[in-house]
Amino acid sequence: MGVTKSDLFSETQNELAAVAKVLAHPARIAIIQYLLKSNTCINGHLVEELGLAQATISQHLKELKNSGIIQGTIEGVSVSYCINPLRWEEIKGIFNSLFESFPSPNCGPNC
């Protein structure tokens, strides 16, 4: 079997790209911001908060949960979601490493 394109890149590069892909939708950013702002687990508030259909929100929650950014618990018909603190720190570290690898520019505005 041949080498897949992802095999050409490091584990960190693949991870960063996968997380960036999940974050690349404004509805998912809005969901994350709402969860961060509320600082608690939420369930049915997102439909009213974001103005999107329940099915749309459910799909975005599924993507966020599959990536580990959020975690959820199911109690009967109620599902509660919150930020997964361990995964959040991992993602923050990956992005910080990328951004911090840029040295202070040594040239003027025309570089």
CATH number of the structural domain spanning residue 26: 1.10.10.10
User: Domain residues for 78?
Assistant: 11-96
For residues 9-18, average pLDDT: 92
Q: Is 109 exposed, middle or buried (0-12, 13-18, 19+ CB in 10 A)?
A: exposed
Residue 2's pLDDT is: 54
Task: Indicate the number of domains in the chain.
Answer: 1
Residue 15's pLDDT is: 93
Report the percent of the chain where pLDDT is more than 90: 52
> Which among 16-25, 71-80, 96-105 has the top mean pLDDT?
16-25
Confidence category of residue 4, pLDDT binned at 50, 70, 90: low
Asked whether residue 5 is domain-assigned, the answer is: no
pTM above 0.75, yes or no: yes
Return the DSSP state at 42. Answer: B
